[in-house]
């Protein structure tokens, strides 16, 4: 794990500014949400897909940081954006089909949407810099 995550502490009402930190905390929140949910076996694949897509966002952002070229960096951000949109899809499906804590899931959907918007803006700004 990168050193930048080790001693990173936030007050509860604050959000991290750095997109890598933001993605890390989003992934952590999703994992803890899924851990706390009670669901039947039929829903296992939905929760599994949610965890996979949510954790993929930050992983691709971090991997993109080590990209060998600008194109490589951008491709990882595009994959992260797709994963963020996928996570929103699974969260909305869970919200609408399973009894879960609505306050938590709405906050997660909002978080995924904000991350998608940030990553999209990063990609757009990168295209404009050429």
* DSSP calls for 51-91: HHHHHHHHHHHHHHHT-SSHHHHHHHHHHHHHHHHHHHHHH
How confident is the model at residue 13, as a pLDDT? 54
How confident is the model at residue 1, as a pLDDT? 45
The alpha carbon dihedral of 47, 53, 56, 58 has a sign of: negative
pTM: 0.84
Domain 14-129 part of CATH 1.20.1440.60: yes
pLDDT tens string, the chain, 130 residues long: the values are 455 555 555 555 556 678 999 999 999 999 999 999 998 999 999 999 999 999 999 999 999 988 788 899 999 999 999 999 999 999 999 999 999 999 999 999 999 999 999 999 999 998 777 6
């Amino acid at each position: 794990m990168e050193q930048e995550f080790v001693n990173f502490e936030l007050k509860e009402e604050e959000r991290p500014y750095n997109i890598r930190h933001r993605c890390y905390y989003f992934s952590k929140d999703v994992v803890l949400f899924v851990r706390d949910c009670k669901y039947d076996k039929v829903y296992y694949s939905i929760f599994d897909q949610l965890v996979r897509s949510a954790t993929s966002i930050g992983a691709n952002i971090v991997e993109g940081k080590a990209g060998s070229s600008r194109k490589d960096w951008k491709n990882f951000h595009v994959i992260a954006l797709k994963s963020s949109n996928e996570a929103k899809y699974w969260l909305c499906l869970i919200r609408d089909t399973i009894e879960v804590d609505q306050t938590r899931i709405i906050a997660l959907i909002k978080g995924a949407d904000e991350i998608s918007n940030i990553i999209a803006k990063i990609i757009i700004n990168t295209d404009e810099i050429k």
